[in-house]
Chain A
Amino acid sequence: MDDLKILRAAWEEPAPAAAAARASARARLLELAGARGAGQEAGPRRRIWQPRMRLWLAAAAVAAATAAAVAVLVAGPAATAPATGAGGLPPVTTAYVIGRTEHALAAAEHRNLIERVRTVSQGSGTGFIILGPGPGRSAVVPQAVSWYYRGMFRMAGFTAAGRRVFDASHTDRYGPERVTISSETVNYISRTWWRGEYQGSRAGLTPAWSLPHSCRAAAPPAPANSPGSNWPAETRRALSCGTYRVAGTGWADGVRAIKIVPRYQPPPRGLQPVSQAVWVSRSTYLPIRVRWSWPRGHGLPDASLTGDFTWLEPTRANLASLRVTIPHGYRQLPPDVDAGAALLWNPGPVRASMP
């Protein structure tokens, strides 16, 4: 008899998962998937929430969580603007704006600019999660500041009151066949920190943004980076696929801006829409604000996720923003590459369809 078959046969089939355990795990997953919002319990066990977290999340102040940084204006590549329109601004045609925006993002990448995003979630179902390691160490918070620079990523999560809950760095290095992922995470609730490192085959870990160009997967990306994502690259891909059109002009974050929105078909009857808008600077054509919003239904308030962008020169001081500082006296936990921070991006019961 084949030794693998013997190995299978010698172990009797384990008893199936208890129905209660399965139901509980499924309910918790669905709970995390949108039935509840930031500030409420999340994760596989209710006990993973720190009771005091709810108190923090109940506060309604604004986060004051930004590292000192030098903002720069990026002059986009020379382009011939159309004739000036009303208000001294060029008329905004979709082709012109999309082309300039795509070009500005490419130039930002070429100039190695650091992308910094301050993202705030409102309503329910979305936030930033720190996972473990282990029970009692996971939490969801409603706002975060993230930095992204050439595969290096850092995200600091805050309560609504601005209290820092976690700080996590994450670096992906993709070789032709291998990938190295390293992370460093500080949990300010449990006053612990840990590192994680994964080295292995690139198989199965190719991020969507680096796949061969295809408009099939060019859905507008979420309005915030998360470990492993590359917002500028994903947005450029969506732009090049004709996913966006100009929807107007206005102001965003104190800057004159052009609003672009995805070209969506109306959702099928009975299904609720997700809306997304990107505001790009009228001077640099770099994104300055992205906002997703969706109705929650089921008696829950509407929800949104808004990210405000700053594009930073890669100076020594700004690059230092990508590093996590371990506070003195915090306890180091064993390495764990699975535990860390992530964007919890949950439109929940919304249905939508791509044209």
Chain B
Amino acid sequence: MATVTPGLAARQASDAAIIQQSWLESERFAAIFDRYYAQIHDYAARRLGQSLADDVAAEAFLIAFARRQRYDISRPDARPWLYGIASNLIARHNRAEVRWYRALARTGVAQADQGDVERADARVDAQSQRRLLASALAQVCDADREVLLLVAWAGLTSGEAGEALGIPAGTARSRLHRARKQVRAVLARRPAITEGETGRG
């Protein structure tokens, strides 16, 4: 009778330890949810807008829970794993994502979340910059964009982004480099476009 995994205080335990415990004490996985739901939701919201973020974040944790026995417990930090799952889910909405960036590029405000955006930001410069960046993101190829956004928005290193996407660290670095080059090229044009758009030139 009895026993399988040691009881650890969830706050002190690494993600790997919690996930390993959840193999037999499944409700412990709630600690992973509590740690990272907000981050995953935030990432999904940036990429797809609020309307899809709820579904993506919930689904990501469902998949993570179902796959927890495959988690590599030699990796203490579960963020790359969770972001990898979320990225796969977001990839299903690839067209929606590109539409979202194009909408932002056209208007600076996404139709779906217009209210939120308007409340959050009325600054014309920021809006113009966002339009430029959204336009750049819509043009960056999907694979490069994945790495760029995992680094810029999820705060992963390029190595962790590679881990999340299942690609070698070197490949992640080169994709990041390519994507950043495209973004920098767009930003280099910023002053003229901003002036033209804002009518201040």
Interface residues of A (CB under 8 A from B): 3-4, 6-18, 21-22, 24-26, 28-30, 32-34, 43-45, 125, 129, 131-133, 135, 177, 179, 198-201, 203-208, 211, 217, 219-220, 222, 226-229, 261-262, 264-268, 273-275, 336-338, 342-355
Question: Known: A15-B50, A29-B30, A44-B62. Contact between A354 and B38, CB under 8 A?
Answer: no
Contact B62 A352 (CB under 8 A): no
Q: Check if A29 sits within 8 Å of B53, measured CB to CB.
A: no
Query: In the bound complex, do residue B5 and residue A354 qualify as a contact, i.e. CB atoms below 8 Å apart?
Result: yes
Q: Which residue of B lies closest to A268 (CB)?
A: B7
Are the C-beta atoms of B30 and A18 separated by less than 8 Å? no
CB-contact partner of A25 in B61, B153, B187, under 8 A: B61
Contact between chains at A204 and B81 (CB < 8 Å): yes
Question: A229 and B69 in contact (CB under 8 A), knowing A6-B129, A17-B38, A352-B5?
Answer: yes
Q: Which residues of A contact B69 (CB under 8 A)?
A: 208, 222, 226, 228-229, 343, 345
Interface residues of B in 123-170 (CB under 8 A from A): 126, 129-130, 133, 148, 151-153, 162-169
| Residue contact A200 to B37, C-beta cutoff 8 Å | no
- Is the pair B3, A336 in contact by a Cβ cutoff of 8 Å? no
List, in ascending order, chain A residues with CB within 8 A of B153's CB: 7-8, 11
19 contacts between A and B (CB under 8 A): A6-B129, A7-B153, A7-B183, A10-B130, A12-B117, A16-B38, A22-B37, A22-B41, A25-B58, A133-B92, A201-B162, A207-B72, A219-B24, A228-B69, A275-B1, A338-B63, A347-B24, A347-B25, A353-B4
Across the interface, do B54 and A21 meet the contact criterion of CB distance under 8 Å? Answer: yes
- Give how many B residues have a beta carbon under 8 Å from the other chain's beta carbons: 74
Query: Would A29 and B117 be within 8 Å (CB), given that A3-B180, A219-B4 are in contact?
Result: no
Asked if B75 contacts A353 (CB within 8 A), the reply is no
Contact B75 A204 (CB under 8 A): yes
A253 vs B42: C-alpha distance in the bound complex, in angstroms?
A: 52
Does A7 contact B2, Cβ atoms closer than 8 Å? Answer: no
Contact of B58 among A45, A132, A177, A344 (CB under 8 A): A45
| Cβ contacts under 8 Å, A4 to chain B | 151-152, 180
Distance in angstroms between the alpha carbons of A13 and B39 in the assembled complex? 11
Known: A21-B54, A29-B33, A345-B23. 11 other contacts (CB 8 A): A14-B45, A30-B27, A30-B30, A33-B27, A203-B168, A204-B81, A208-B69, A211-B74, A217-B73, A264-B1, A351-B25
Q: Which residue of B lies closest to A7 (CB)?
A: B152
Chain B proximity of A271: nearest CB distance (Å): 8
Q: How far is the CB of B200 from chain A (nearest CB, A)?
A: 18
Summarize A's interface: helix, strand, loop or mixed: loop
Q: Whole-angstrom distance from the CB of A182 to the nearest CB of chain B?
A: 13
Q: Which of A125, A205, A226, A273 contacts B2 (CB 8 A)?
A: A273
Is B89 in contact with chain A by the CB < 8 A criterion?
Answer: yes
Is the beta-carbon distance between B162 and A33 smaller than 8 angstroms? no
A32 to B66, CA, bound (A): 9
Question: Is B18 in the interface zone, CB < 8 Å from A?
Answer: no
Contacts A17-B53, A228-B70 known; A29 to B29 CB distance under 8 Å?
A: yes
Residues in A whose Cβ lies below 8 Å from that of B92: 133, 336
Q: Are A12 and B121 in contact (CB under 8 A)?
A: yes
State how many angstroms separate the Cβ of B155 from the closest Cβ of chain A. Answer: 9
Q: Cβ of B120 and Cβ of A220 under 8 Å apart?
A: no
Bound: A220/B69 CA distance, A: 13
| Residues A203 and B184 in contact in the complex (CB < 8 Å), given A7-B133, A11-B46 | no
- Measured between beta carbons, the chain A residues less than 8 angstroms from B24 are 219, 274, 347, 350, 352
Q: Give min CB distance, A135 to chain B, whole Å.
A: 8
A44 contact set on B, CB distance < 8 A:
55, 58-59, 61-62
Contact A15–B6 (Cβ < 8 Å): no
**In the docked arrangement, what's the CA distance between A133 and B55, Å?**
13
In the bound complex, residues from chain B placing their C-beta under 8 Å from that of A267 are: 1-3
Q: Which residues of A contact B130 (CB under 8 A)?
A: 10-11
Q: How far is the CB of B178 from chain A (nearest CB, A)?
A: 13
- CB nearest neighbor in B for A125: B26
**Interfacial chain A residues near B152, Cβ < 8 Å:** 4, 7-8
Q: How far is the CB of A132 from chain B (nearest CB, A)?
A: 8
Chain B stretch 87-124: residues in CB contact (< 8 A) with chain A? 88-89, 92, 116-117, 120-121
Complex alpha-carbon distance, A198 and B84, angstroms: 12
Inter-subunit contact A265/B2 (CB<8 Å)? yes
The interface residues of chain B lying within 8 Å CB-to-CB of A222 are: 23, 69
Q: Is the CB of A354 within 8 A of B3?
A: yes
Interface flags, B1-43, vs A, CB<8A=1, else 0: 1111111000000000000101111110110011001100110
Contact A177 B3 (CB under 8 A): no
Q: A33-B27, A265-B3, A354-B4 are in contact. Are A18 and B162 (CB under 8 A)?
A: no
Question: Which listed residue (B27, B53, B73) contacts A208, Cβ 8 A?
Answer: B73
B91 CB → nearest A CB, Å: 10
Contact yes or no, A25 B57, CB < 8 A: yes
Interfacial chain A residues near B121, Cβ < 8 Å: 12
Complex contacts, A7 vs chain B, CB 8 Å: 133, 148, 152-153, 183
Q: Is the beta-carbon distance between A206 and B74 smaller than 8 angstroms? A: yes
Residues in A whose Cβ lies below 8 Å from that of B74: 206, 211
